[in-house]
């Protein structure tokens, strides 16, 4: 009987790694519900442009990380969209679980890559295209259409940020959000031939011909 109890006690869920302080303990049944909900979310991919807009919305101070207050706001809005309670206690439960599962560096903040694990972005769209020497006009059209999410036939600032972020990842480079925003501004100034703070198909074609 003792051996059987010992086996059961070692067969614990990942929630046992949460702080043991009573103030931070998530009830087992509630933790299971949170885990189930996050698993559902992790299967719902979003467009890279949508993800970039989401990131900019909640990273209010452009620090490249969601701090305690920003993460609380993100989770409260997320709970509201799900039609669930978004009171401080509920938000804290979800925040504890989010940090436990996705805060890889343990700094009690969520950076852009950690958020992408919580709300996975689609596979890098640019990865399926060959080097610039082999890009066809149809390739350029596909890329432009993919990132022109509002169908305006112009690439806005957020759409350009998503495109450039995917371009960096395609080339095996990492860039933090603040540097990405600065780089986006520079690229827009160079290639925005119409000076309307948006890029046309020809502008994007010129950019990709020199960067892919």
The pLDDT tens digits of the residues spanning 156-166 come to 999 999 999 99
For residue 33, the SS3 value is helix
Residue 59 makes CB contacts below 8 A (sequence gap 6+) with 65, 66, 70, 112, 177
Residue 19 makes CB contacts below 8 A (sequence gap 6+) with 25, 96
What confidence score (pLDDT) does residue 47 get? 85
Q: What is the β-pairing status of strands 65-66 and 110-111?
A: antiparallel
Per-domain boundaries in the chain: 27-50+58-118, 125-211
- The reply to whether domains 27-50+58-118 and 125-211 share a CATH topology is yes
Tokens of 59: 């990273």
pTM: 0.66
Which residue positions in the chain have pLDDT lower than 50?
1-28, 31
- CATH number (1.10.3660.10, 1.20.1250.20, 1.25.40.80, 1.10.238.10) of 125-211 reads 1.10.238.10
What confidence score (pLDDT) does residue 17 get? 40
What confidence score (pLDDT) does residue 41 get? 53
Q: Which fold has domain 27-50+58-118?
A: Recoverin; domain 1 (1.10.238)
- 67-102: burial string, b at 16+ Cβ within 10 Å, e else: beebbbebbbebbeeeeeebeeebbebbbbbbbbbb
């Amino acid at each position: 009987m003792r051996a059987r109890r010992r086996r059961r006690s070692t067969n614990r869920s990942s929630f046992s790694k949460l702080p043991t302080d009573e103030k931070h303990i998530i009830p087992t049944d509630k933790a299971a519900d949170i885990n189930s909900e996050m698993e559902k979310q992790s299967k719902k991919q979003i467009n890279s442009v949508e993800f970039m807009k989401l990131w900019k919305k909640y990273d209010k101070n452009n620090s490249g990380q969601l701090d305690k207050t920003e993460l609380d706001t993100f989770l409260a809005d997320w709970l509201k969209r799900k039609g669930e309670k978004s009171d401080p206690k509920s938000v804290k439960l979800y925040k504890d679980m989010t940090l436990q599962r996705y805060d890889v560096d343990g700094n009690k903040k969520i950076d852009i890559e950690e958020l992408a694990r919580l709300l996975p972005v689609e596979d890098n769209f640019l990865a399926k295209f060959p080097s610039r020497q082999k890009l066809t006009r149809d390739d350029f059209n596909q890329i432009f259409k993919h990132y022109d999410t509002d169908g305006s036939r112009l690439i806005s600032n957020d759409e350009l940020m998503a495109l450039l972020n995917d371009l960096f990842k395609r080339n095996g480079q990492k860039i933090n959000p603040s540097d990405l925003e600065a780089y986006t501004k520079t690229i827009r100034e160079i290639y925005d031939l119409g000076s309307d703070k948006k890029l046309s198909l020809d502008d994007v074609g010129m950019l990709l011909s020199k960067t892919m």
